[in-house]
């Protein structure tokens, strides 16, 4: 009887806490600068959360360290639901290659819900004599090390995918590291670097104008942005898939009732018609999964990129 009473009191206390949440301004920490794609995503949902929860929601940009700067800031915040982290695929890769015990996903930071999933596309300078991915692979095999691919440096998604594709295709290219994501685009369009793995919205205008040529999407299905571009499986590289994702985490210890409130309102914000339409127009889609589903996804992502990084001899150095 006493145990039953304790459980009942705990449930009531949890319900009261959830009803009282939030009590002050909330913030979404973003591990990239203002104007970046993740920043845009955060600013899409912030006003919807504010309207639903009755408190201001600000976006706090904390770029640097392959997402570690933002993750560290979020992990040390009070575990009360008022501080959210929009984690990126970079955070999971950093955890896989060089985990920092301050702020690991699924440990010091716990999942609420995944937001968007956007497959990467391989684009090349159109002067490259390779109209298709199969011809590009053949050209790279004929001239080992002559073709180049851009990355954002050690431990970046571009580096990992670049080495993965080479390994699966049996070709060899030269990596050209840059200081930031998408910093290579001017060189890519001028022909100083041959290829890069980029999300569709960043290069759609350049593709339409003929300044870049897409060869392959690293996804299980073709993307709406480039419906004529084959998937990795269609060009003979089954299983070679790389999808840039983001999603909301909170500090470990945040009450389950508060996480439930956040999950409910975040999924509503993700699926607002104008938000969903904009995500789909840029080649992505909304996930909106449960905390448990998101946690399982993170475990799979860490295992995947750890295996790829180990095979390539890559260690993250944020």
Q: Which residues pair with 217 in a beta bridge?
A: 121, 231
Going along the chain from its start, the domains and CATH numbers come out as: 25-117+244-312 (3.40.190.150), 121-235 (3.40.190.10)
Q: Above 90 in pLDDT, residue 237?
A: yes
Query: Helices 256-270 and 273-281 sit at what angle, rounded to 10 degrees?
Result: 70
Q: Which two tokens stand for residue 189?
A: 């369009």
What average pLDDT does range 50-56 have in this prediction? 98
Q: Is the pLDDT of residue 219 over 80?
A: yes
CA angle 228, 196, 117 (to 5 degrees): 65
271-300: per-residue pLDDT in tens?
999 999 999 998 999 999 999 999 999 999
Q: In the predicted model, what is the mean pLDDT of the chain? A: 92
pLDDT band at 183 (very low <50, low <70, confident <90, very high): confident
**Residues of the chain with pLDDT > 70: what percent?**
93
Do 171 and 247 meet the contact criterion of CB atoms below 8 Å apart? Answer: no
pLDDT tens sequence across 78-119: 999 999 999 999 999 999 999 999 999 999 999 999 999 999
pLDDT of residue 261: 98
- The answer to whether the beta carbons of residues 79 and 250 sit under 8 Å apart is yes
Residue 18 has pLDDT above 60, yes or no: no
Dihedral (CA of 38, 44, 45, 47) sign: positive
- Is the pLDDT at 12 greater than 60? The verdict is no
Does 10 have pLDDT greater than 50? no
Q: Assess contact for 116 and 278: CB atoms under 8 A.
A: no
pLDDT, tens digit, 9 for 90 and up, residues 27-45: 999 998 888 889 999 999 9
Adjacent-strand bridge partners of 175: 149
């Amino acid at each position: 009887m006493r145990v039953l009473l304790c459980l009942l009191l705990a449930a009531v206390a949890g319900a009261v806490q959830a009803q009282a949440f939030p009590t002050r301004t909330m913030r979404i920490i973003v591990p990239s600068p203002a104007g970046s794609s993740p920043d845009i995503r955060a600013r899409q949902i912030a006003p919807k959360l504010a309207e639903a929860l009755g408190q201001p929601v600000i976006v706090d940009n904390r770029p640097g360290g392959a997402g570690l700067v933002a993750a560290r800031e979020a992990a040390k915040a009070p575990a009360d639901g008022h501080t959210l982290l929009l984690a990126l695929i970079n955070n999971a890769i950093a955890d896989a290659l060089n985990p920092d015990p301050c702020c690991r996903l699924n440990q010091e930071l716990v999942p609420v819900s995944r937001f968007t999933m956007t497959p990467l596309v391989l684009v090349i300078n159109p002067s490259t004599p390779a109209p298709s991915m199969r011809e590009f692979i053949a050209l790279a095999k004929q001239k080992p090390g002559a073709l180049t691919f851009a990355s954002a440096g050690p431990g970046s998604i571009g580096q990992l995918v670049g080495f993965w594709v080479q390994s699966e295709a049996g070709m060899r290219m030269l990596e050209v590291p840059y200081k930031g994501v998408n910093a290579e685009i001017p060189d890519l369009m001028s022909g100083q670097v041959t290829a890069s793995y980029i999300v569709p919205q960043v290069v759609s205008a350049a593709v339409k104008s003929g300044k870049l040529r897409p060869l392959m999407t690293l996804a299980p299905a073709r993307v709406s942005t480039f419906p004529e571009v084959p998937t990795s499986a269609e060009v003979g590289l089954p299983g070679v898939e790389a999808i840039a994702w983001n999603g909301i985490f909170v500090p470990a210890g945040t009450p389950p009732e508060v996480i439930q409130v956040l999950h409910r309102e975040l999924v509503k914000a993700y699926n607002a018609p104008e938000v969903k339409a904009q995500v789909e127009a840029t080649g992505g889609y909304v996930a909106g999964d449960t905390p448990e589903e998101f946690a399982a996804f993170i475990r799979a992502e860490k295992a995947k990129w750890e295996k790829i990084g180990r095979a390539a001899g890559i260690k993250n150095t944020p």
